[in-house]
Every structure is written in C-alpha cells, then in structure tokens.
Amino acid sequence: MIAELGLAVLWMAAALAVLQLVAGALSLRPATAHLAGVVRPVAILQGVLVACAFAALIWLFLSTDLSVKLVAENSHSAKPFIFKLAGTWGNHEGSMLMWVTIMSLAGGFVALIEKRLPENTLIATLAGQAFVSLGFYAFLLLASNPFERLPEPAPEGAGLNPLLQDIGLAFHPPTLYVGYVGLSIAFSFAVGALVTRDVGPAFARAMRPWVLGAWIFLTLGITAGSYWAYYTLGWGGWWFWDPVENASLMPWLAATALLHSCSVLAARNALRTWTVMLGVVAFSMSMVGTFLVRSGILTSVHAFAVDPTRGSFILALLAIYIGGALLLFGLRASTVTEGARFAVLSRESSLVFNNVMLCGILGIVLVGTLYPLLTEAMGVKVSVGPPYFNPVSAVFAIPMMMVMAVGPVLRWREDKGGRITWQVAVPALVSAVALLAVELLFAPNLLPALGLALAPGLAVASVQPLVGRNLRRTPLPIYGMVIGHLGIAVALFGMASEGAFSTERLAAMNPGDSQQVGPFKVALQDIGPVAGPNWTALEATVSASYAGGEPTVLHPQARTFANPPGNRTESALLTRWNGQLYAVLGEEGDDGRWQMRFWWKPFVPMIWYGGALVALGGLLALLGRVARDVKRLVAIDKIAYRRERQGR
C-alpha cells in the first residue's frame, strides 16, 4: 500500500508540474495574466507531494519491504539501520527520486519566500523550474519507477554494494544532490531573466544565495567523497581524476565562477551576459555529470544504471535543457545591456580573469573526461590521467591563485598600483622565501614545489582584507571570503605536501616482522578473524611507533560481505599533526607471508581541513547575505505599511 501511495503522489506531483509550467507560461501574456496567482501555491504543493513520495520510499527501505523490486535488489533484512537508510539513494531509481525531491522542495521554497524579483520574472523562473522538473518526473515514471512491485515478494534482499556500505554514503550523495539542485535553481533564474529581459542586480541578488548554497554543498560533497575514496578504496590516494570524480568537480568549477560573477552583478551592475551564461553552463555541467554517472557508459562504484534506454533518456533531457537554454540565450543575449564598465586594474577585472581561468580548467577536465569515451566508441581505448590533468590544469590554476591573492584588496571599478604595493609585496616575498627553502632543503618536483611556495603566500594574502578594519563591525561575507580563501591555501599546502613528501612501503610480512615507513617503525603483531553486523573480516594488528616513541595499535581489515557477495578493504589511519600513517592489509602469499602496504603522507589531512574551511567560509557569507536581505525586506515592508496607513 505504501508503494502504491508513493507512486500516486509522484504522479500527482508531476501533474502539478505540468500545471505550474502551463500557468506560468500563459500568465506572461496580458490576456491570461490572472493565472500568475496559481503558480506559487502549485509550486509549494508540488514540493510537499514529492517529499511524501520520497518519504514513502524511505519507509519501504527501513521496513525492508521485499515485495518492492528496488528494495529487494538493494537492501537486506540483516543490514544495519544506517545502511538501510542510505540504500534508499544508493541506487539508480532512489537517487533520481532524491534529485527530484530536492529540486521540487527548492522550487517550492523559492515560491514561498522570494520577494525581491518582479512578479513576472519570478513566475517565469518557476515555470522554468517546472520545465526542468518535468523531464525528471518523466524519467522516473516512464523509465525508472522506484515503486515497482515484484510478482512475488523476494525471500531475501540482494543487499547493497559493499563499497557503498560506509557511513560516508549517508552524507556524500545528498550533499552533492543539494548542490546540483541549487544550480538547477540558478539555471531557472537565468532562464526567467532572459524570458522577461530582466537581467540586473535584483536578479543577481535573488540568484546569489542559491548559487552560494549550491557551492557550499558541492564543496562538502566533493571533500567528503575524496576522503571516503581515500580511506575506503585502499589505494592511498585522495584524487585520481576518475570520470565520476570529474563529474562532481566540473559543476563546482562552474559554480565558483558563477558565484563571483553574481557578486559583481549584484554589487556593481556589471558582467550581466557573463552571469547568465555561467548560470546555463553550471547546470549544464550538472547534467553532463548526471549523464556520465547514470547512463551506464562508465564502470564505477557510483555508476548505477546499466540500461542504455536510461542513458538515452538522460541524453535527450540534456539536449533539450541545454540546447533550449543556449537557443534562448542566443536569441535574447542582444537584449541584455552591457552594464557598468570597469578599469583593467580593479576588483572586477581580477574576478573576470579568475573566471576565465576557472573556465579553462573546466574545459580541460571536460575534454579529458569525454575524450576516452569518444575514442572508445570508435574502437580505440585510451587512458587520460594525472600526467594530463595535473600539469595542464596547473597552467591555469597557478595564475588564478596569484591573482586571487591580490583581487580582494583591489577597489571596485578602478584602482592604482601604487596603493597596493605592500599588499602585493608581502605575499610575494613569503612565497619566494618558501620556494627557496623548499628547493634547498627538499628539491621536490616542479608542481609540488610551486604548490608549497604558493600556499603560504596565499594564506598571508587571504587575511589582508581584514587589515585596518574594525573586526567587530566587519560584515560576515568578508569573513566568509577570508576563511574561504584561507581554506584554498590550506588545501593547496596539503596537496603539495602529499605529492612532494609521501613515502610508500609494500612488504611481505610474517607476525613479528617490522618495517620503516618514513618516521614510523611498523610491526605486524597478529592476524585473525573478526565479525561485524553483516560482514566477516581478517584483521591485522599493527603497532606503529613514531620516531622511537610509544607504539600505537592499528587494525586494518579485509572484509567479506555475503549479501551481495563482495570484498572491501578497510584501511587503518593514524593521524598526527604533521600527517597520516596509512595501513592496508593485502592477501596471503604462497609462502605464508601477508602483503602489507603502508604510506606516510605528511600533512595530507590539510586537504580536507582546507575543504571544510572553504565550506565554512561559504556558510558565513551565506548567513551574512541572508541576514542583510532579510533586513532589507523588513525595511521595505515597514515603508509599504506606513504608506498604506498614510493613504488611509
């Protein structure tokens, strides 16, 4: 009954999306303008209904209703509660229903609270959001029904992919989906503004919180996904330029550029066309990522779909949405006025330069991700990995970070070089000293050396906007910018340190044997069986002593799952202030010795600390912007109330 109810409300939500689209489109004509009053309530009700449908699917998974095909294929009665919950979106149909749920709730929230835009622009935005939602409703209801029943209930469920049975799965996909959906809202704002020819500061102010929120969640999702792959897959790396990793990175790059363009348009009425175009590109990258992960053309732990029909459906949606938006942009771009001009030496120019660099990196990642797929379709398999991505991306990333160090201290519209001499000189001197010290003491490869030199200079530059300010009266968005840029510096330092100083040791060991790994002496003490709630494992007991100090015990495992059958490496990590020791248990050799793999990775946690700081900076900026907007709206309401009373 729950499955049928969930399917019924999903159909009703889809019908309301049709009504929202039709009413919104017709209300833009003077003869049917009265239909505008229907759009907001319908958008809110649609969000409520699809949320009920998703709640029904969660209930089916938590109760392990094995008469539902999706539950039988992706859950198991013996699975722990958290993985039953995560199993709701750890599959193709459930993840797409989560996407639609977040999208519809976001659209309803826009309809409920947005008061800054002219009514016709808001109605056009909600109609655009309904148009986007309709494609996903059709995809779910016609090609990927999450509530499909089995002819007979299964005796037991197949379970969830062992690699996905990790606490990280409970947080990683939802955060990414919120980010993707935030970009769909930005896309709808861009479409609405183009339809009504109303691209200006008010449009940017309305769109900016959604872009900022999407960017925060994308940052968290990518950071969490990187750490999840680092400790779960047992490869010892934090980023592999895997196509699925790139699928989440590309929207983040576009969202970063869009966020800065929104700020310029909102504050200085410039970059109008650029902002609208980036709104289309950012959501385009979300759709490209969705196609890569959901079409079945990739073999990955994340790639759920294997049905070519589904891939074709998503490709058709991508063509309709992106092609339609680009066509609209081409038709209306000439009607978007230029906006305010600015000098070459200004904060606007620095943001434009960095946006171009971000788009350059985006193009590099897009080409490197799609090229192997195109060649494979022609019968030739090629591999594109770090030897391509790292140096080519650095060509754009290094100048971008150098300008990022200077941009926040520049004035809007126009500045003079003499005014910022010391603000440029101090970070440059710090980076030069760091580069000299690194080369003299360690002589690492070029890219890690440049990263180690840029990171401290960027860290110093990131706090310069606070110099000379009254810190108590400094707006939250300024603190957000400072902390976000500082997070980039911290993450860069962690990446460069990991690339320059990592030590790896692969050894065949018997209990009692020891190895030296960087500053650690590690000894294999014992290997024995252990059992968990839905797995069994071989567990190694390893003692690790740092520089002759007291030993710490680690327990890397090799886990075996029965439902479904599969294996997973459970690495063991020992974190110190200056890095991590990483231990992995391999297989037993023919000679009875165990394959053990160890890494010493200096300062590698800085990568994820930096990601957290970037997200925190975004959160502070969002809170500051929202608080400012609320104050402005309250003030406008008070003025309107006074005028109304005076009129009486």
pLDDT at position 510:
93
CA angle 209, 215, 219 (to 5 degrees): 145
Q: Residue 276 in contact with residue 193, Cβ under 8 Å?
A: yes
Look at phi and psi of residue 64 and say left if phi exceeds 0, alpha if psi is from -120 to 50, else beta: left
- d(C-alpha 276, C-alpha 128), whole Å: 14
Nearest to 264 by CA among 350, 361, 150: 350
Cβ atoms of 444 and 414 closer than 8 Å: no
Question: What is the b/e burial string over 179-215, where b = at least 16 CB atoms within 10 angstroms of the residue's CB?
Answer: bbbbbbbbbbbbbbbbbbebbbbbbbbbbbbbbbbbb
Neighbours of 387 (CB within 10 A): 10
Any bridge partners for residue 599, and if so which? 504, 582
Q: Distance between CA atoms of 494 and 509, rounded to whole angstroms?
A: 31
Q: What is the pLDDT of residue 648?
A: 58
pTM, entire model: 0.93
Top-ranked range on mean pLDDT: pick from 168-182, 281-295, 502-516, 563-577: 502-516
568: which 2 tokens? 């997973």
Q: Is the dihedral of CA 390, 393, 395, 399 positive or negative?
A: negative
Sign (positive or negative) of CA dihedral 442, 446, 447, 450: positive
Tell me the pLDDT tens digit for each residue of 500-542. Answer: 999 999 999 999 999 999 999 999 999 999 988 878 999 999 9
Answer whether 287's CB lies under 8 Å from 316's CB: no
| 87 in Cβ contact with 74 (< 8 Å) | yes
Of 207-221, 223-237, 331-345, which one has max mean pLDDT? 207-221
What pLDDT, on a 0 to 100 scale, did the predictor assign at position 328? 86
**CB contact at 8 A, 420 and 402:** no
Amino acid in the structure at residue 15: A
How far is the C-alpha of 314 from the C-alpha of 648, rounded, in Å?
Answer: 57
Query: 89-98, 242-251, 293-302, 429-438: which has the minimum mean pLDDT?
Result: 293-302
Which residue from 226, 217, 166, 277 is spatially nearest to 561, judged by alpha carbons?
166
Specify the higher pLDDT residue, 8 or 321: 8
Share of the chain above pLDDT 90, in %: 58
Max CA separation in the chain (angstroms):
96
Least confident of 197-201, 291-295, 509-513, 624-628: 291-295
How do 503-509 and 535-546 pair as beta strands?
A: unpaired
Q: How many residues does the chain have?
A: 648
Residue 219 is predicted with a pLDDT of 96
